[in-house]
């Protein structure tokens, strides 16, 4: 049986009428659509079509029209330029001469070549006394025990700054600076040398060249660098120890130490906020050293804020001594924070002959005091000189160690 076809209404219909003479006439009339036979429905349909047209026109106008301004961006902690936009100028890498006023055109980290050898204070005798070289100990059978919190917090001198009260961290068997310290052979009487590479994390190629050197070395990463988690992980895998290279204000404020730098003019709350931000960018580090900072490290109140947080977190401090007025190591000693100080800058003059001469100073200092801490940067010249030199220090009778090993040596009470 064939399927029944659906009935379709004809598009036209026939009507009949009479003309004046009385004859019947057939008329063919077009049938209007249903929506045209009802005025209300017709008006609604036309209104809907009009609204759709307006919407499409507006959308096309926005899409094809000119850009009237920047579109809103997602908020992030720090807006950094793309990695490919960060490059070093032609010639010397990581330039030493800074731009700004005539006073700012000085050697990087404020005329470090003119700085005398740093003074090591005795924490037990007060900040102004000179510390004698620490005796070499035979070994550390176990990590240094942490005394009770009440015994570790000395009385603080009067200050114009109120340090915000922060809940102490839960006591642990050993502090983070000990947990993340690179293990080395026990001290055996040989002079110890620690090499710190600053300014890592911006120039990826040169940072990795420094990390590829034989260790253990100490790598100080700028907290606003790139790919820090990957770099830190690789550096630790290569046997190196990690510091946060904390940006601090220099004497000449036209010299930019980078974002979130510590400045005494900011006030305690903002200083602590910036300090926490910088410390939270990476993990697995033993402490901090200062990036620039000749202005900030000379301020006792500011350094007390820093040391209070380092104490709470169980971290050490390496004073780069970018000014003879530095209060950093003094406040660290008063606060009970493990610390050490820089002895020699390797590359304040970027010249291979000068760098070799500075390495000789490192050796002389280590023989004289029992240890030496040298700070350099990942310049091509520095890497070219330090790499071969590292292969010779064992034969010369030195022990290469991370900076935490020298901090242990400098602690006022050696425990075996």
pLDDT of residue 55: 64
Give the number of C-alpha atoms closer than 13 A to the C-alpha of residue 374, restricted to the C-beta side.
27
Sign of CA dihedral 274, 279, 282, 287: positive
Percent share of the chain, pLDDT over 70: 58
Query: If 0-12 CB within 10 Å is exposed, 13-18 middle and 19+ buried, where does residue 359 land?
Result: buried
Please state, in angstroms and rounded to a whole number, the distance separating the CA atoms of residues 113 and 97: 13
In 241-366, the DSSP E strands lie at: 241-248, 287-292, 316-319, 339-341, 344-345
Checking if the pLDDT of 244 tops 90, the result is yes
As a whole number, the mean pLDDT across the chain is 76
Number of H helices, E strands in the chain: 13, 11
- CB 295 within 8 Å of CB 253: yes
Q: How confident is the model at residue 155 (pLDDT cuts 50, 70, 90)?
A: very low
Dist. CA 359–CA 321, nearest whole Å: 18
Q: Residue 30: what are its φ and ψ, rounded to 5°?
A: -70, 135
Mean pLDDT of 211-237: 98
Mean pLDDT along residues 29-44: 60
Token pair in block for residue 136? 């070499």
Confidence at 60, pLDDT banded by 50, 70, 90? low
pLDDT bin (cut points 50, 70, 90) of residue 364 is very high
| 298, two tokens | 């000379």
Which residue, among 345, 370, 340, has the nearest Cα to 359 in the 3D structure? 345
- State mean pLDDT over 124-129: 39
SS3 36: helix
Per-residue confidence (pLDDT) for residue 91, from 0 to 100? 35
Rg of the Cα atoms in the chain: 37
pLDDT attached to residue 174: 85
**Average pLDDT value for residue range 307-327:** 97
Asked if 385 and 152 count as a contact pair (C-beta separation under 8 A), the reply is: no
DSSP secondary structure letter of residue 395:
T
pLDDT value for 114 = 41
Q: What three-state secondary structure class fits 205? A: helix
pLDDT reported for residue 21: 65
Query: Is 289's pLDDT higher than 50?
Result: yes
pTM above 0.85, yes or no: no
DSSP 214-225: -SS-EEEE-TT-
Going from the N-terminus, what domains does the chain have, and what CATH number goes with each? Answer: 13-58 (no CATH), 121-148+172-410 (3.20.20.370)
205 vs 211: CA distance, rounded Å: 10
């Amino acid at each position: 049986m064939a399927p029944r076809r659906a009935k379709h209404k004809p598009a036209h219909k026939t009507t009949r009428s009479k003309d004046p003479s009385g004859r019947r006439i057939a008329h063919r009339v077009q049938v209007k659509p249903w929506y045209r036979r009802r005025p209300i429905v017709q008006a609604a349909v036309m209104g809907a079509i009009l609204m759709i047209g307006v919407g499409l026109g507006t959308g096309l106008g926005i899409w094809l029209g000119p850009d009237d301004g920047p579109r809103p961006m997602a908020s992030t902690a720090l807006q950094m330029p793309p990695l490919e936009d960060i490059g070093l100028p032609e010639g010397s890498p990581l330039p030493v001469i800074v731009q700004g006023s005539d006073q700012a055109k000085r050697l990087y980290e404020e005329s470090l070549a003119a700085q005398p050898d740093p003074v090591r204070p005795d924490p037990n005798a007060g900040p102004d006394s000179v510390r004698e070289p620490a005796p070499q100990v035979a070994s550390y059978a176990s990590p240094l025990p942490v005394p009770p919190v009440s015994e570790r917090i000395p009385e603080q001198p009067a200050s114009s700054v109120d340090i915000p009260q922060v809940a102490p961290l839960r006591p642990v068997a050993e502090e983070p600076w000990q947990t993340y310290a690179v293990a080395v052979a026990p001290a055996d009487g040989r002079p110890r040398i620690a090499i710190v590479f600053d300014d890592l994390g911006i120039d990826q190629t040169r940072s990795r060249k420094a990390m590829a050197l034989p260790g253990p070395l100490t790598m100080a990463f700028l907290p606003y660098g790139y790919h820090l988690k990957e770099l830190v992980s690789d550096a630790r895998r290569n046997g190196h120890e990690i510091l946060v290279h904390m940006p601090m204000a220099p004497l000449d404020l036209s010299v930019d130490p980078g974002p979130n730098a510590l400045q005494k003019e900011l006030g305690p709350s903002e200083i602590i906020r910036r300090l926490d931000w910088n410390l939270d960018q990476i993990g697995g580090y033993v402490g901090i050293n200062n990036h620039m900072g000749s202005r900030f490290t000379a301020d006792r109140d500011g350094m007390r804020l820093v040391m209070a947080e380092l104490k709470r977190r169980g971290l050490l401090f390496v004073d780069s001594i970018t000014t003879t007025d530095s209060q950093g190591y003094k406040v660290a000693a008063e606060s009970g924070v493990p610390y050490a100080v820089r002895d020699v800058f390797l590359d304040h003059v970027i010249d291979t002959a000068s760098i070799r001469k500075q390495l000789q100073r490192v050796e002389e200092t280590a023989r004289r005091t029992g240890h030496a801490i040298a700070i350099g940067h990942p310049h091509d010249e520095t890497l070219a000189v330090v790499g071969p030199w590292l292969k010779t220090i064992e034969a010369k009778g030195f022990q290469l160690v991370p900076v935490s090993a020298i901090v242990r040596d400098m602690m006022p009470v050696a425990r075996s």
